[in-house]
């Protein structure tokens, strides 16, 4: 690590020869994660909903990482059809995947639904990634020391629970609680996946990370975000995207990381700072709920895991 003991992007080891697939990587945390991995020599796949914005992101990365191998893949996590198509295309183009980084997410949108009728946040943040990971698993498992990184949030503790009685928020809708459910689901997925990988004696590990509070496009649905000066004010109490991405980068590349760990900022209440090992809520470690969520996720997506 760096001399000041704070983990920074300078601590990311050489990634030459590795393939990294990153969802939601045309902006914010995903773009910064992709940029650093490309600078370190990884072949990076930007898996994004808008391929034009993805192409712009690839061009931006090329400016700071000349010669970087960056490609763009269309992926709409709000459509299981799109997830299946993307998985087929990624698998065909990249027989081996070293890093699968489930980064994309929606936060606090007005009530909406995915193409398959799922509540927008749960369907995109959790179910889309659950399906994508399962469909790409055969390309990840044979790769020694591959990693699946799930980007969670401190919001997994805020009004959060897995509401099996109304997973899709049809009876009522609270966007904060719905986001909390989706991020709690992300963590539970990471822990349950790691348990399965370990039982299968795989060298692949599943790791979780969170960025604290980062000033990115994800904040666009927060009340007041359109007011003059909001972004400047937010910048005083949030991580930049580059700093927020460090937890993901550490989870993805630090040789000392082990399966089932969770990384987040070292500052007050994990809101800001540099990445360290952190802990998640007791609720997130409830294996009975994890297993029920796993079964429901398989049922809703039609994707089962070959473990």
Residues tagged active-site:
179
Indicate the helix (H) or strand (E) that contains 85: helix 80-93
Q: Which of 287, 239, 279 is nearest to 263 (CA)?
A: 279
- Residue showing tokens 């987040």: 264
Q: Which of 18, 25, 190 is nearest to 99 (CA)?
A: 18
**What strand order describes the sheet that includes 205-209?**
70-74, 43-48, 19-23, 99-102, 147-151, 205-209, 262-265, 275-277
Tell me how crowded residue 208 is: count the other CB atoms within 10 A of its CB. 31
| Pairing assessment for the beta strands 43-48 and 70-74 based on DSSP bridges | parallel
The span from the CA of 262 to the CA of 270, in Å, is 12
| Pairing assessment for the beta strands 19-23 and 205-209 based on DSSP bridges | unpaired
Using DSSP, state whether 168 is helix, strand or coil. Answer: coil
Using DSSP, state whether 51 is helix, strand or coil. Answer: helix
Q: What's the residue count for the chain?
A: 307
Using DSSP, state whether 194 is helix, strand or coil. Answer: helix
The span from the CA of 259 to the CA of 207, in Å, is 6
Contact 216, 28 (CB under 8 A): yes
Q: Report the Cα 294 to chain-centroid distance in Å.
A: 17
């Amino acid at each position: 690590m760096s001399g000041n003991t704070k983990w920074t992007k300078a601590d990311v080891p050489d990634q030459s020869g590795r393939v990294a697939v990153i969802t939601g990587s045309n902006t914010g945390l995903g773009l910064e994660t992709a940029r650093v991995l490309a600078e370190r020599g990884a072949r990076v796949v930007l898996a994004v909903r808008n391929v034009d914005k993805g192409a712009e992101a690839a061009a931006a990365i090329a400016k700071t990482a000349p010669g970087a191998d960056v490609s763009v893949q269309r992926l709409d996590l709000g459509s299981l059809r799109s997830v299946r198509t993307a998985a087929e295309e990624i698998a065909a183009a990249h027989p081996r995947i070293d890093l699968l980084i489930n980064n994309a997410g929606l936060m606090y949108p007005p009530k909406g639904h995915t193409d398959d009728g799922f509540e927008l946040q749960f369907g995109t943040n959790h179910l889309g990634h659950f399906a994508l990971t399962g469909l790409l698993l055969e390309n990840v498992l044979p790769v020694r020391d591959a990693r699946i990184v799930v980007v969670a949030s401190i919001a997994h503790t805020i009004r959060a629970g897995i509401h099996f009685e109304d997973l899709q928020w049809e009876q009522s809708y609270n966007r904060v609680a719905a986001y909390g459910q989706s991020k709690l689901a992300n963590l539970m997925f990471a822990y349950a996946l790691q348990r399965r990988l370990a039982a299968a004696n795989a060298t692949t590990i599943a790791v979780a990370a969170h960025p604290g509070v980062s000033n990115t496009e994800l904040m666009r649905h927060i009340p007041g975000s359109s007011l003059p000066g909001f972004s400047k004010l937010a910048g005083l109490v949030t991580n930049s995207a580059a700093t927020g991405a460090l937890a993901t980068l550490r989870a993805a590349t630090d040789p000392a990381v082990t399966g089932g760990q969770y990384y987040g900022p070292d500052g007050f209440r994990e809101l800001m700072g540099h990445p360290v090992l952190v802990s998640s809520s007791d609720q997130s470690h409830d294996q009975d709920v994890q297993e029920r969520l796993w079964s429901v996720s398989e049922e809703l997506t039609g994707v089962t895991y070959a473990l």
